[in-house]
Structure 1
Amino acid sequence: MQAEKVLLELINSPECLSQCQLLLEQGTTSYAQLLAATCLSKLVSRASPLPVEQRIDIRNYILNYVASQPKLAPFVMQALVQVIAKITKLGWFEVLKDQLIFRDITADVKKFLQGTVDHYIIGVMILSELTQEMNLVDYSRPSAKHRKIATSFRDTSLKDILMLACSLLKELLAKPLTIQDRQQESLAMHLLKLVLNCLNFDFIGNSADESADDLCTVQIPTNWRTIFLEPGTLDLFFDLYHSLPPMLSQLALSCLVQFASTRRSLFSNPERAKYLGNLIKGVKQILENPQGLSDPGTYHEFCRFLARLKTNYQLGELVMVKDYPEVIRLIANFTITSLQHWEFAPNSVHYLLTLWQRMVASVPFVKTAEPHLLDTYAPEITKAYITSRLDCVPVVIRDGLEDPLDDTATVFQQLEQLCTVSRCEYEKTCTLLVQLFDQNAQNYQKLLHSSSRNPLEITVQEGRLAWLVYFVGTFVGGRLTYTSTDEHDAMDGELSCRVFQLISLMDAQLPQSSNEKVELAILWFLDQFRKTYVGDQLQHTSKSKHFPFLGISDNYSLSDLRCRTMFYTALTRLLMVDLGEDEDEFENFMLPLTVSFESVTQIFNSSFEQEEAKRMLIGLARDLRGIAFALNTKTSYTMLFDWIYPAYISVLQRAIELWYQEPACTTPILKLMAEFMQNRSQRLNFDVSSPNGILLFREASKMICTYGNQILSLGTLSKDQVYPLKLKGISICYSALKSALCGNYVSFGVFKLYGDNHFDNVLQAFVKMLLSVSHSDLLQYRKLSQSYYPLLECVTQDHMSFITSLEPRVLIYILTSISEGLTAIDTIVSSSCCASLDYIVTYLFKHIAKEGKKTLRCREISQDGQRLFNFMQQNPEVLQQMMSILMNTIIFEDCRNQWSVSRPLLGLILLNEKYFSELRATLINSQPDSKREVLDQCFRNLMEGVEQNLLVKNRDRFTQNMSVFRRDMAEALRSEGASDPGSLDMMS
């Protein structure tokens, strides 16, 4: 900051120029001279320029100064030369006495070229800096002015500068004996930099981003053709490459990179072919004598040179060159050697892979008869890359080197290039990769199962597998639609299969360990696989053998058809994206199913080929269930209902009636009906003028009644047949009925009002099917219990009049099932039992409470309640047993649904206060005298503040008390001196 402050003060000082002159002439250090040069540079670059005469004086002074001081420090010389360049550029159009006074710089420079070698170097530096300055965009000044100056410089001076530089290089090359002299080397370096600046000039004002230099084309002016057409021009730089030391030969190659990038339109076709031939001849000479490529900088420039050849010339032009076969062989060998030495100049590999990628990508478009030979060399390049990366793994791990896989940006870039190369002679690539994958996967498995697991060897194998997975993902991702064949897709399948097997193996190891590099490689593979085979090309790569569940192949089984539900769910969700209210679109979507249903209807009405009809109906039921599952809006569901009712739903009814004894047929149809009854997202809330809700329930009632009556005719079944042939169908019927009763889209009172018996029939069918099932089976089969108990909860909640109308033996059966379900491990079952019991107890309690308040309006209700009351009086042990179970659960067990248990318990206590007092006394008396008072207080606290009603507020009070009661009882019974809790089980 202090130095910057001093510099600003010096620039703003009126004596700035004289002080700078003083520093240059009398400064004791090079840094004082640098300060003066920097000050002058900023002074001449200001927005308000100095007078023309002053700038001329500064320029002439510096020219004379550097001429008299040729041994200045390089950085001082560079700074002073830069001042001359800035003055020349900014005053390019300045006129004094009818002369463009700043354009005579070339004449001034030629005076330097007549002096010593040091003066030679200064003159070349001035031209080089001037060329670079003319090409440099100053964003603080108008860009239009910059282009005007640059264009004028290009048209008036740049060609002469380039020709001068080339002639000086020829003179230099003609003195091989003195070329090792340091001054001569310095001169050669500055001349090559001058040529490079000329060739790097932005000729038309559209210079590409430097980061994309491999795509650059040099827009050489047309009037430069003679320079480029002369064979000696290219020969000069190839000769310089061979003659100069590595540091300078690198610059010669940089110039050749620009020569190779010359725009194609500069030449006619014959001229371009000749020019390319000279470039290829030079490449051949370099590769035949590759000693100079041992220098990393030279090697890097040569790789750029090779990449530029394919960037600017077509493969069809390259194969026409006389030396092409030999040169492509040499380039292939050079590339293979480079890939094998993976640790040497890794950034240069990009250019080599670019060359091969573009050459292979051009193969389909080559029209010439000459062989391109890429089918011979491209697989070798791929093999070299694969094997070199696998071989580097143990070296990296054992020597602790930087892992190439950690640089994912470079890895992905190279893999993207390699994927194109790998697709040339893909069979060879796949064979190699399959062999390597199998070999390394087997070694990995052996290490995992070895008794003496070597962590280092396992890490090495995982590193190799990570590379192999990256390669598979790359090659699969390189698939091109217009060149791929079924054979190539099969090869992709072979490779992908191995990765999926590796995923399974890695998953099995997850609890113990996992390798991050392998997991990242697998994610890369999955992404490439998705893009290639799970995207737009899916319809082209899908074959009938991939969809056996659609039944379109000859070899399929009924079990395959299960996948159709999920398949049609996915299709329907895609349809729903833009369906809206478009009924025509929905009809088009359903057209294949319409045709199938019509075919089934014809079969029913004709010869009736049962097996064919069964197969079609099973598929249709699964398809429709998938579609119904995805239709979660009222509009879309209504479209489906209108499509299936009434014509096609009668076909399903007919199938249930005929094939009730075949679960393979009835199960999909019953599940379809259960799905139809689901009021998911309120999709069944039809308009008030629509009878669809009642019509749907009527169809469900018919199907359940038909199935229930028929299935009961099967008689006694063996234990292994009872679930598939009977209980599974019953559980589905119960699920469908539960959905209907709880769906809130049917007013069930309408049925009795209008004399429709469908509701009563389905409830009777429910009871008949229930009585055919043993209590043990109800709890043994999870799906059955999870459908029966929630259904019973719905029935007891809204249809207690039906429960009270049942015969005593049926009531005993239902209440016994509730009693056994209260202790079930499954919370769905136990919670539903508690809810059902609560509804029953609440109904009974309300009846008793109203017993003295009978009116004509509630006489019928009173009769229903009286039947239940009479039954309970005759069978008091039923409710008493359930009270014991609930108390036992609260006190002695891990109650996971405490709230659910509390709801019926209060009603039971209020209905059976005497029995509750007996339970209380039994428990307290079984404990030591010291604990009885504590336990008695717990029971008093349980009923504290609880009133003789079942209002919500009173229930909540009891639930809170019960939570405290449970905690206090547990503490009391755990304390010292308490009896063994196991002896207190009130159910014993």
Structure 2
Amino acid sequence: MLSNLRQGPTLKEVAFAGFPGSNNRETIDGDLAVRVFGLLPVVDSGYHQGRYGERSRQRLDLAILSLFQSFRKVYIGEQVMHSSKVYTRLQERLGLKDHAMILNLMLSKIAINLKVYGSCDDIITQTLNLFQDLAAGYTSGKLLLKLDFTSYILQHHTAEHFAFLDDPANSRSRTTFYFTLARLLFVEDTAAKFKAFVLVGLGAACSNGADPGALRTSVQRQVVIGLFRDLRGITMATNSRRNYGLLFDWLYPAHFPTLRACLEAWADSPDVTTAMLKFMAEFALNKTQRLTFDSSSPNGILLFREVSKVLVSYGTRVVASAPTSDPYGQRYKGIWICLDLLKTALAGNYVNFGVFELYGDPALKDALDITMKMALSVPLADIMAYRKVGKAFFGLLDVLCSNHTHVIANYDTPTFAFLMTALDGGLKSLDVVISSQCATAVDNLAGFYFKAVQANGSETPPAAAQKVAEHLQQRPELLPTLLTTLFEIVLFEDCPNQWSLSRPMLSLILINEQIYTALRDRIVAAHPRDRQAHLSACLDKLMADVQRNLESKNRDKFTQNLTNARHEFRSKR
């Protein structure tokens, strides 16, 4: 039987090889599936139970998982089951009459693999991928909830029953495991089942006290890492206001002191702090509008206060830490997660940030101050070199320039100049996401300054606009440098995000039209003499019918002129 299985085609090959007639193809698929499903009682019983550590046995289980995935894609579904000859063969030879019985076999194999393969990362990863895919399917997910094995896993999700949870090599897989379990759990969305679920293992782990010193001596570091990965998986599965509320009400306020104490206790351990920060970044993410609290609820403010405490706790240590031989692993990874965490919280639209200043709450100010200190502690060259650091840094600048412009304006001039220089470097990035974020940030900042100072006439501009004016008076080259960079990219380079890069150009031109005129002359003069007249003619059309305002219609007209100028210039190169 094993030799026949090894020599036969895979289910994918059979399904897509183009056999003459679907009935013939399904018959062959059925024969192959009968062999594999019939093999399951043999491979996990008797003598074979002692062979899980052998590579040959692991290859066999990987092959079985591959067939399960292919079978799931092609033959799991109500319409498929009633019309397919695969189920006819399975019923005739093995008594498996429908996909509920097939899923029960698959789930039993999943449970066995998670029990016996504690240290085989390949099998654990493929097993959890199969489990996740089954739970994600509409038909298979509903059927899984009705199976006894599902109830068993939801009630016994501890290392005592699933050995892979105790192996540090599978630490990352815990997130996938709990994401899948929580996804199944939230299908029914009942508070009683959720409480019963989190009290199995998680409840005890979250209730070890709030004394960092005691935690460090009484709890193993790997247990803490596992806890945060588990919580992140559960949080990822909350995709509605109700099930997020169940998780929030369980964690706050009872367990957050313990979670913060873990961060303080293992502040010198990047694997612990990374797991904690990633959990918080997911917990503060308002995806699918799940963080929508009642109008009388303070939960949004309370959540941001917890975010602020985590940022201050971690950031204070990182800013004071000495340089290391592994800057990314020891510092930069945690910093970019913090930048992303603050960006997520600021852009989540579940907090009225004016409340903090109105009532003298320092949570917002403390979070902004410590996060910017962390960002400024990273050299610009490293921000540009590490892609994740750059995306988080420029993503935060984008949000600050859009909704918290006064924060950028109120920094001292050297810091403001550093941020403008960083945006200039980001505009030149080959990463489209980063260059687009920088373009949006420049557009928002320049647009704010133009509207506040230039368009107000004799009125006194806001304090933030006055601060920007002071910075530009001391460093007058900052905005012209940005405009020069944008012109060089849009006119002379192949850029896939031309529209995004064109948006801030009008704002920068209107701030100081004399500077634009001088810049235009420099751009023309930098080209060969035989090209100067043509380029000058193209640029002359740039401001045609463009007014001195930033209304949408006017901005679109400028972008259209810029596109035409680019095409006309490049057509005669």
* Interval containing the TM-score (normalised by the shorter chain): 0.7 to 0.9
User: Does structure 1 residue 903 correspond to structure 2 residue 503?
Assistant: yes
Preserved CA contact (<8 Å) 1:600 1:613: no
1:971 deviates by 1.9
Paired AA for residue 407 in structure 2:
F
Question: Letter of the aligned partner of 2:451 in structure 1?
Answer: K
Letter in structure 2 aligned against 1:645: Y
* 2:165/2:171 contact within 8 Å kept: no
Q: Report which structure shows greater RCO (CA 8 Å, sep ≥6).
A: 2
Q: Which letter maps to 2:106?
A: G
Say if 2:311 and 2:338, in contact at 8 Å, map to a contact too.
yes
For 1:480 and 1:568, locate their aligned partners in 2 and report how far apart those are by CA, in whole Å. Answer: 26
TM-score normalized by structure 1? Answer: 0.46
Q: CA deviation at 1:567?
A: 0.5
The offset of 1:935, in angstroms, is 2.4
The whole-number CA distance in structure 1 between the counterparts of 2:166 and 2:62 is 25
Q: What are the Cα deviations for residues 480-530 of structure 1, in whole angstroms up to 9, with x where unaligned?
A: 8699834367789957835857999xxxxxxxxxxxxxxxx9xx99x9999
The match for 1:478 is 38
- For the residues of structure 2 that align with 1:737 and 1:804, how far apart are their CA atoms? 18
SS at match of 1:793: helix
Residue 541 (structure 1) aligns with = 112
CA–CA distance in 2 between the matches of 1:502 and 1:707? 45
Structure 1 residue 914 and structure 2 residue 514: aligned? yes
2:437 to 832, 844, 849: 832
For the pair 1:732 / 2:344, whether they are aligned, the reply is: no
Distance across 2 between alignment mates of 1:868 and 1:412: 70
Q: Does 1:938 align with 2:546?
A: no
The residue type equivalent to 1:967 in the other structure is H
Q: 2:266 matched to 1:704? A: no
Amino acid at match of 2:243: S
Task: Choose from 248, 253, 278 the match for 1:646.
Answer: 253
Distance 1:576 1:871, change over 3 A: same
Partners of 1:810 and 1:390 lie apart in 2 by 67
1:716 correspondence with 2:323? yes
Match among 474, 482, 485 for residue 874 of structure 1: 474
Correspondence for 1:574 = 184
From 196, 199, 209, the counterpart of 1:601: 209
Is contact 1:686–1:692 with CA below 8 Å preserved after alignment? yes
Residue in structure 1 matched with residue 130 of structure 2 by the alignment: none
Report the count of equivalent residues: 495
Map 1:579-598 to 2 at 5 A.
579=189, 582-597=190-205
Q: Percent identity?
A: 33
AA aligned to 2:181 is L
Deviations 1:409-438 (A, max 9, x none): 77678x5xxxxxxxxxxxxxxxxxxxxxxx
Taking structure 1 as reference, are residues 631 and 486 closer, same or farther at Cα in structure 2, changes over 3 Å only? Answer: farther
Q: Is the 8 A contact 1:711 1:726 kept in 2?
A: yes
Tell me by how many angstroms 1:844 deviates: 1.4
**Deviation for aligned residue 1:532:** 7.8
Partners of 2:387 and 2:176 in 1: CA distance: 23
3-state DSSP of counterpart to 2:477: helix
Decide whether the 8 Å contact of 1:800 with 1:840 is kept in 2. yes
Q: 1:869 Cα shift?
A: 0.7
Aligned-residue offset at 1:576? 1.6
CA contact (8 A) 2:439 2:501 kept: yes
CA–CA distance in 1 between the matches of 2:269 and 2:116? 28
Map 1:649-668 to 2 at 5 A: 649-668=256-275
* 546-555 or 773-782, which deviates more: 546-555
Counterpart of 2:13 in structure 1 is: none
> Hey, what's the Cα distance between the residues in 1 that align with 2:338 and 2:444?
23
Whether the aligned pair in 2 keeps the contact of 1:533 and 1:541 (CA below 8 Å) is no
C-alpha deviations, 1:753-800, integer Å up to 9, x for none? 011010011110122111211000111111111111111100111111
Show the 5 A alignment for 1:28-177.
none
**For each residue in 1:878-921, what CA deviation from the matched residue of structure 2 results, as whole angstroms up to 9, or x when unmatched?**
11111111110012111211111111111111223223222322
- Cα deviation code 1:550-605 (max 9, x no counterpart): 655499553421100011111111112222xx211111111114433355329x58
Q: C-alpha separation between the residues in 2 aligned to 1:625 and 1:938?
A: 54
Give 1:750's aligned residue: 355
In the alignment, which of 534, 551, 560 is matched to residue 951 of structure 1?
551
> Aligned partners of 2:187 and 2:419: how far apart in 1?
46
2:544 and 2:440 mapped to 1: Cα distance?
Answer: 24
1:531 is aligned to 2:102:
yes
CA distance in 2: counterparts of 1:929 and 1:599, whole angstroms: 76
1:497 aligns to what?
A: 59
Give ranges in structure 2 of 5+ residues lacking alignment: 9-18, 67-85, 125-157
Aligned match of 2:293: 686
Q: Secondary structure at the match of 2:438?
A: helix
CA distance, structure 1, for counterparts of residue 396 and residue 413 of structure 2: 20
1:775 corresponds to 2:377: no
2:497 counterpart of 1:890 = no
Q: Distance in 1 between matches of 2:173 and 2:565?
A: 52
Q: Is the 8 A contact 1:657 1:710 kept in 2?
A: no
Counterparts of residues 259-338 of structure 1 (less than 5 Å): none
Q: Which amino acid aligns with 1:900?
A: S
Query: What residue is the counterpart of 1:618 in the other structure?
Result: 225
CA 784–546 in structure 1, closer or farther in 2 if over 3 Å, else same: same
Matched to 1:892, the amino acid is F
Query: Which amino acid in structure 2 is aligned with residue 710 of structure 1?
Result: R
C-alpha RMSD of the superposition = 3.7
From the superposition, tell whether residues 912 and 587 of structure 1 become closer, same or farther in structure 2 (CA, over 3 Å). Answer: same
CA shift in 2, pair 1:741/1:933, >3 Å: same
Bigger mean CA offset, 491-500 vs 830-839: 491-500
Structure (1 or 2) with the larger CA radius of gyration: 1
Q: In 2, are the aligned partners of 1:621 and 1:672 still within 8 Å (CA)?
A: yes
Q: Matched residues in 1 for 2:530 and 2:427: separation?
A: 33
The secondary structure found in structure 2 opposite 1:825 is coil
Cα distance change on mapping 1:936 and 1:410 into 2, 3 Å: closer
- Contact residue 924 and residue 932 of structure 1 kept, 8 A: yes
Change (3 A) 1:848 1:489: same
Point out where structure 1 has 5 or more consecutive residues left out of the alignment: 1-381, 392-401, 416-469, 505-520, 975-988
TM superposition shift of 1:700: 0.3
Structure 2 CA distance for partners of 1:568 and 1:830, relative to 1, 3 Å: same
